[in-house]
Amino acid sequence: MSKYASNPDAIRALVHPEEVHRDVYTSPEVFALEMKHLFANTWVYVGHASQIPEKGDYITTEIGDQPVLVVRHTDMSVHVLYNRCPHKGVKIASEACGNTGKFFRCPYHAWSFRTNGNLLAIPLKKGYENTGLENTDAVKGLAPVANVKIYREFIFARLNDTGESFEAFFGDSLSSIDNMIDRSPEGKLVLEGAPLRYMHNCNWKMLVENQTDTCHPMVAHESSAGTAVSVWEKEQAKGGPKPMAVEVYAPFMAPYEFFEGMGIRVWPHGHGHTGVTTSIHADYSAVPGYFDQMVEAYGEERARAILGENRHNTVYFPHIMIKGPIQTMRVFRPLAADRTLVESYTFRLVGAPDMLFERTLMYNRLINAPTSIVGHDDLEVYERAQKGLASDALEWVNVQRLYEPGERHDVTETANGTSERQMRNQFAAWVHYMTLDMAEPARVEAAE
Amino acid sequence: MTTDTLTRLTPDTVTEADLTAFIYREARLLDELAYEDWLKLYAQDAHYWMPAEWQQTDPRLQASLMYEDMLLLRIRVERLAGARTFSQKPKSRSQHLLQAPQVDEMNPAANLFRTWTSFHYVETRGDEKEFFAGWAKHEIRVEEGALKIALKRVDLLNFDAPFGNIQLFM
């Protein structure tokens, strides 16, 4: 039974200014519509150019539920192609990454394609003579994703032609990507190593929301960060410097006042970030030699401005989060209404001391790994929420904290750091992109 | 090794049987949830390493699932018993099935002993049961008459798979 398909009013009714209907998290139909509309109408991150430096290098990924491959062509241009043979539908590339040489070759019937997707050759081609193959879509090769934009090596793609340009979609939010890159004395990042992969039996939006939820750390993470602090307090008697791991763990136990003061900024189209004035990354120990390198590269004033930016989590709607000051990125990959794969990536700052990358890797394994105790705290509450939403006690999820009537979602503004405003900002964008290319009901014509 | 307190080992007197018994004892302490006793098997400068790459060589500048010193292992153990550790309500349990440990190096002159142990491991919590397979490599030395782990390296067969929570120790 279809309740939401081709029914934009029903979709709009799922989101109130200060609360969200549980179907947004639990309905398989809503999930299917997210794949069909939301992920197709937005600029979706598909990879980093440093992953495909050589001709023929490729990575495989998904835009929503659509398998795509991102490949470096022989002229060094980057192409995003549907990962589907136009003959019988076989997935062309199955590994996460690799080098295909000069062409892709389907493993089933050996149809082959240039690295820009164009059909190169079909075995026994004369069997197609006079069949009209030249008039089919099959002969066009691997279908391209038409809208591709590479911003400072971050590759984004959009399946549909509907909606804003890349620049209009992201606007000033790109400043968070800029800041992460500018932290390299050479202005260059390298995405290094495979991601840590963490399976979550919950809806993908719970994870995205949590990126700007600052009222949970001192509650949910008392178990992990709180224990880290208490164990370290006992150890301190032995003297010695505070270990890097304690510097990473301890700020999660900062009091509410700290999170209130650090602020949240919202941008149009669902993007936003915590840590406007300070963040949990602000007090890491200085890395010897690094500041001097930055001063040499940028001049002292600019170096201080770059390193003084301490954004905590920047959400790029719909489904990635970056942490500039620690050079990590998480991609929340929706698999089902109640199933999400989290991939956590690490960037090396080219030209910077190894110790910075060491801290990045430590952060990733202490916070984002399936073996991370901080991650255990979060996953436990997400999965309890997914189960709890089955309760008929209430149909609505509350995101009302510091709500003000008349709140706008087409502006850049800052709010108290414990506001749930960025969650509301995301849901306004969610409704917009879910319904953007959805046919309006017939009653519109009937009324005329 | 049941006579721990009576045994006064020196590097020269360590036998292969001592090493294999030690490996079995470590697994048993984990399965009995005797984490305080388990921590005592480790040297103060020890590390517990679970790589995230095949045949990984560097725990510092390559991604790992775990690379923890005794401070971090102690935090994990104390957390497991915490009153507000919601991911341990209900608690997890584990079971190790070890293939006979193989002794790869007997080097009393350097006070260094290495073993290699293939394992199957089950971690359960509530109605869920997760199965893992892999290989544990131990670097062991003698300290104050007893065997101590200097490094335990756990290579999972599918280190690159998407896992849910792995809460205990392999």
pLDDT digits (tens, 9 = 90+) for A228-285: 999 999 998 888 889 999 999 999 999 999 999 999 999 999 999 999 999 999 999 9
Interface of B with A in 117-136 (CB under 8 A): none
> Which member of B72, B76, B87 has the closest CB to residue A380?
B87
DSSP string over A4-47: STT-HHHHHTTB-SSEEETHHHH-HHHHHHIIIIIHHHS-EEEE
Query: pLDDT at residue A287 above 50?
Result: yes
Interface of A with B (CB under 8 A): 193-194, 196-201, 220, 222-224, 226-228, 230-232, 235, 243, 245-246, 249, 341, 346, 354, 357-358, 361-362, 364-366, 369-371, 373, 375-377, 379-381, 384
The confidence band for A2, taking pLDDT boundaries of 50, 70 and 90, is: confident
Tens of pLDDT along A332-369? 999 999 999 999 999 999 999 999 999 999 999 999 99
Which residues from A are below 8 Å from B66, CB to CB?
365, 369, 371
The rounded distance, in Å, linking the Cα atoms of B41 and B140 is 10
Q: Which helix (H) or strand (E) holds A170?
A: helix A166-170
CATH 3.90.380.10-classified regions of chain A? 168-434
Do B52 and A194 count as a contact with CB atoms less than 8 A apart?
A: yes
What's the rounded mean pLDDT across residues A377-400? Answer: 98
| Mutation site, A376, A386, A387, interface B, largest B CB count within 10 A | A376
Which residues from B are below 8 Å from A228, CB to CB?
75
What's the rounded mean pLDDT across residues B130-134? Answer: 98
Q: Which helix (H) or strand (E) holds B123?
A: strand B112-125
Which residues from A are below 8 Å from B160, CB to CB?
194, 197
CA-based nearest distance B28→chain A, Å: 21
DSSP string over B124-149: EETTEEEEEEEEEEEEEEEETTEEEE
**pLDDT score of A238:** 83
Do B164 and A373 count as a contact with CB atoms less than 8 A apart?
A: no
The rounded distance, in Å, linking the Cα atoms of A411 and A429 is 12
**pLDDT score of A7:** 96
% of chain A exceeding 90 in pLDDT: 95
Tens of pLDDT along B32-91? 999 999 999 999 999 999 999 999 999 999 999 999 999 999 999 999 999 999 999 999
Burial A54-89 (b: 16+ CB within 10 A, else e): ebbbbbbbbbbebbbbbbbbeeeebbbbbbbbbeee
The confidence band for A447, taking pLDDT boundaries of 50, 70 and 90, is: very low
B27 in contact with chain A, both atoms CB, cutoff 8 A: no
CA-based nearest distance A162→chain B, Å: 33
DSSP string over A175-241: HHHHHHHHTSTTS-EEE-SPPEEEEESS-HHHHHHHTT--SSHHHHTIIIIIHHHHHHHHHGGG--P
Class of domain A45-151: mainly beta
Tens of pLDDT along A149-159? 999 999 999 99
% of chain A exceeding 70 in pLDDT: 98
CA-based nearest distance B152→chain A, Å: 16
The rounded distance, in Å, linking the Cα atoms of B40 and A126 is 74
Least reliable range by pLDDT among A80-84, A238-242, B27-31, B145-149? A238-242
Which residues from B are below 8 Å from A244, CB to CB?
none
CA-based nearest distance B166→chain A, Å: 5
**Tokens standing for residue B133:** 């397979």
The confidence band for A439, taking pLDDT boundaries of 50, 70 and 90, is: confident
Class of domain A168-434: alpha beta
Do A196 and B63 count as a contact with CB atoms less than 8 A apart?
A: yes
> Is residue B4 within 8 Å of residue B141, measured between CB atoms?
no
**pLDDT score of A445:** 52
Query: pLDDT at residue A443 above 70?
Result: no
On average, the pLDDT of chain A sits at 96
DSSP string over A290-337: HHHHHHHHH-HHHHHHHHH-----EEETTTEEEEGGGTEEEEEEEEET
**pLDDT score of A1:** 64
**pLDDT score of B8:** 87
Query: pLDDT at residue A440 above 90?
Result: no
CATH 2.102.10.10-classified regions of chain A? 45-151
Domains defined along chain B, listed by start:
11-156 (3.10.450.50)
**pTM for the structure as a whole:** 0.96
